Amino acid sequence: MSVRLLVLEDDDGIRTSVTMALEDEGYEVTGHPSAEEALRDPSLGEVDLHLVDLMLGGMDGYSFIREVRRRSDVPIIVLSAKGDTHDIVAALEAGADDYVTKPFEIKEVSARLRALRRRPPTRSAEQTADAPDVVVLDAENGPLVLDTGAAVLRRGEEVVHLTVTEYHLLRELAASAGRVLSRQVLLERVWDHGYFGDERIVDVHVRRLRTKVEVTASDPRLVVTVRGLGYRLDPQ
Amino acid sequence: MRPAAGRLGIRATSTASFALLALVVSTLLAVGTYLTARHYLVGQREATATRQAFVDAALLREGLLTAGSSVSDVLDETSPPPGAVVLVDRSGQWYTSSLETGEADVPADVRAAAAQGRASRAWTTLAGGPAVVVGVPVPAVGVAVYEISPTTELQSTLRTLAVVLAAFAAGTTAVGALLGGSASARTLAPLRDVASAAAAIAAGRMTTRLPDTSDPDLAVIVGSFNSMVEALEERMQRDARFAADVAHELRSPVTTLMTSVTVLRSAQGRDPERQRAAADLVDREVRRLHRSLEHLLELGRLDAGVLERDPEPMDLEALVRHTLADTGRAHVGVEVVGPLTPVEGSKPQLHRALVNLLENADRHGGGVEQVLLRSGSGSVEVLVVDRGPGVPDAERSRVFDRFSRIGSRGSTPGTGLGLSLVAETVRAHGGRVWVEETPGGGATFVIGLPAGGDGAEGGS
């Protein structure tokens, strides 16, 4: 079954052309000109990835992203002509996973799509050999356990809800536990961004991840910031 | 702003003026004081000398009336004040209380007066200094008594007074200069604040403001300076916002073009249906880009305040009919209410303004229903009537702002500049534009042009 995309864009030309271009790449695309219409779409729950414009007539892109986040963890990419820091950070904080500024090459969009669509690799013989499936992140509180085999994070018996991107980020940090990972490295590994990627994406996602894995998000112990270098995961 | 060479600044001028004023006033006062004091002191001195002379003359008379006494004996008994000399003339025989002083020291007119039996007084010089001479005839004993009183102490008093007054005048002048200097420095201090604030603003710190002041004289400067900076800041923000809006407006068609070209490439030779759809998109977006650029250019012209042509008298009805026919709307009804006052304007610009209103009606009002022409008070009005959803009250002034978008963009988005172009064109013609509700629903956009065209101006 092909991957289903939702394109929310009020500009007719962009919506039509992006829809066609992504269809050419083998995706199944549904386009909507307004957030209200997209939310009424009965097949919204089956969408695998959202492409969302921020400036829309009526309900704006930020509200739409929050609404989608409330319902699911599927990746969301923002397509925006706004390139200001506060617009981007606001969109990421609303729950977007990545963003592309207009005008863009469709190749760029599909590269981001692929990066976010990348599923956690299934267990291979090699992995079973040198890395355990289960990593205990915090033995005292919970315990907090990352199960890379099942791709879930558990605190005690309970599953901690992570978005796909948050899970990838945590897995990368856990795989290099005790070592500092620069924002650049994380951008490349989690988002497939090249050299000119936006490091704010990493910061916003780390902030969101902390609210889920830390005991006190404002006083992080597990995912710590190493000033000037990046982030490090310290198993407790 | 460069100070002219050789010209004095405000501070120097003000210091000099204060000093000069102080000098003049203090000199006048000093001279006046000196003259008054001298007049009084001299009068006093003369009166004293006269009194003394009469006392001495009386003494001499008493002495001489005593039998057997000689003039020189009596003269010895008189006690003139120190320095004063008493002379006695007894029928040409002169007696004197001082060896250095004699007949020659008594001025002739005093002697003449005494000879005629009159007492008199005069000024003379005694031992190089001024002195008062008083002549008193004493007929009872046949003598004339003269008393010469030197006034050296009066002179030295007057000299001291003159020195003191001159020093006072000089001091006052210096104080005046200081006062002038410091007063102008105080007056200029706010100007220095203004200058440093202006420099800060020029350096880009647009939040710089002059602190509020309770001084009513300064409040005016501070107030207008601050409001100038605010206007400037607002203008800059508006320009920045406009630039951002323009960039945003151009990004959308460019995005579509880039994506459509990708689609076009991959559909080449495989899928003619898709190829045509993509080509249509390219076509539409290129037009949209073109229209955006045209609108931006027009806006630039209007911002520069340039009417494309000199205003010329025109027939508005003909212009409206022409525009409708030109844009394939010949079927739209034109109604003229009453006789129209002639107007003046730039035909091509008003034509484009009308086109923008018609396109706006297409895009948001389901197409123009009718165009009405009528004479208002002092103006001629063109009404473009549609039957669309209308414009909500709250949005009626905002629709004419650049890039204000009311409602959704629909399938054929405009440039976001059309109505602002209409507004600015009409404003350049000295008229105004507004939107009202069409009776029974819809929007009516009204262009009001000044009758007679006297409001048309090439720029402001």
Strands A223-226 and B143-150: unpaired
Given an 8 Å threshold on Cβ–Cβ distance, is A20 in contact with B247?
no
Mean pLDDT in chain A? 83
Given an 8 Å threshold on Cβ–Cβ distance, is A103 in contact with B255?
yes
Kindly give the parts of chain B with pLDDT less than 50: 1, 3, 455-460
Q: Which is more confident, A78 or B299?
A: A78
Given an 8 Å threshold on Cβ–Cβ distance, is A20 in contact with B263?
yes
Give the CA distances from residue A14 to residues A8, B255, B281, B407, in Å, rounded to whole numbers and listed in that order: 10, 6, 9, 19
- Chain B residues touching A20 at Cβ < 8 A: 259-260, 263, 274, 277-278
Q: Which CATH number fits domain B10-159: 3.40.630.30, 3.30.450.20, 3.40.50.10540, 3.30.465.10?
A: 3.30.450.20
Provide, rounded to the nearest whole percent, the portion of chain A with pLDDT above 70.
Answer: 93
Among the residues of B116-215, which ranges form H helices? Answer: 152-202
Beta-bridge mates of residue B144: B89, B137
**CA A44 to mean position of chain CA atoms:** 18
A136 φ, ψ to 5°? -85, 115
Number of domains in chain A: 2
Q: How much is the pLDDT for B2?
A: 52
Q: Please state the rounded mean pLDDT for residues A22-44.
A: 88
Q: How much is the pLDDT for A123?
A: 41
Residues A169 and A217 in one domain: yes
Those of residues 286-315 in B touching chain A at CB distance below 8 A are: 288
Is the ipTM value over 0.85, yes or no? no
What is the Cα Rg of chain B in Å? 52
Quote the pTM value: 0.61
Would you call A108 an interface residue with chain B, using a CB distance cutoff of 8 Å? no
Q: Which of A78, A80, A43 is nearest to A64 (CA)?
A: A78
Give the CA distances from residue A131 to residues A51, A147, A149, A171, B56, in Å, rounded to whole numbers and listed in that order: 35, 11, 11, 12, 143
Mutate to test the interface with A, among B246, B249, B256, B266 (most CBs of A within 10 A): B256
Q: Which of B109, B65, B59, B101 is nearest to B80 (CA)?
A: B59
* Cβ count within 10 A of residue B206: 15
Q: Please state the rounded mean pLDDT for residues A167-181.
A: 87
Give the separation between CA A110 and CA A49, rounded to whole angstroms. Answer: 11
Give the separation between CA B423 and CA B419, rounded to whole angstroms. Answer: 6
- Chain B residues touching A34 at Cβ < 8 A: 408
Q: How much is the pLDDT for B193?
A: 84
Residues A185 and A112 in one domain: no
Residue A191 maps to which CATH number? Answer: 1.10.10.10
Q: How much is the pLDDT for A45?
A: 84
Residues A130 and A103 in one domain: no
What is the Cα Rg of chain A in Å? 18
- Least confident range of A61-75, A127-141, B278-292, B390-404: A127-141
Residues A113 and A129 in one domain: no
**What's the domain range around A136?**
125-233
Q: Which is more confident, A111 or A194?
A: A111
Given an 8 Å threshold on Cβ–Cβ distance, is B259 in contact with A12?
no
Q: Which stretches of chain A are assigned E, i.e. beta strand?
A: 4-8, 28-32, 49-53, 76-80, 98-101, 134-138, 144-147, 152-155, 158-160, 180-181, 223-226, 230-233
Q: How much is the pLDDT for B5?
A: 53
Does residue A120 surpass a pLDDT of 70? no
The CATH homologous superfamily to which domain B308-453 belongs is: Histidine kinase-like ATPase, C-terminal domain (3.30.565.10)
Where among A86, A117, A148 does a domain terminate? Answer: A117
Q: How much is the pLDDT for B93?
A: 84
Q: How much is the pLDDT for B24?
A: 92
Q: How much is the pLDDT for A121?
A: 47
* Cβ count within 10 A of residue B216: 7
Q: Which residue has the tokens 């129209």?
A: B340
Would you call A192 an interface residue with chain B, using a CB distance cutoff of 8 Å? no
Residues A27 and A68 in one domain: yes
Given an 8 Å threshold on Cβ–Cβ distance, is B262 in contact with A105?
yes
Residues A113 and A156 in one domain: no
Among B251, B277, B407, beta carbon nearest to A20 = B277
Residues A158 and A133 in one domain: yes
Q: Confirm if B412 and B256 have CB atoms less than 8 A apart.
A: no
Chain A with chain B: Cβ pairs closer than 8 A: 79
Where among A101, A117, A133 does a domain terminate? Answer: A117
Task: For chain B, give every domain's residue range.
Answer: 10-159, 228-301, 308-453
Domain over B228-301 is classified CATH 3.40.50.1360:
no
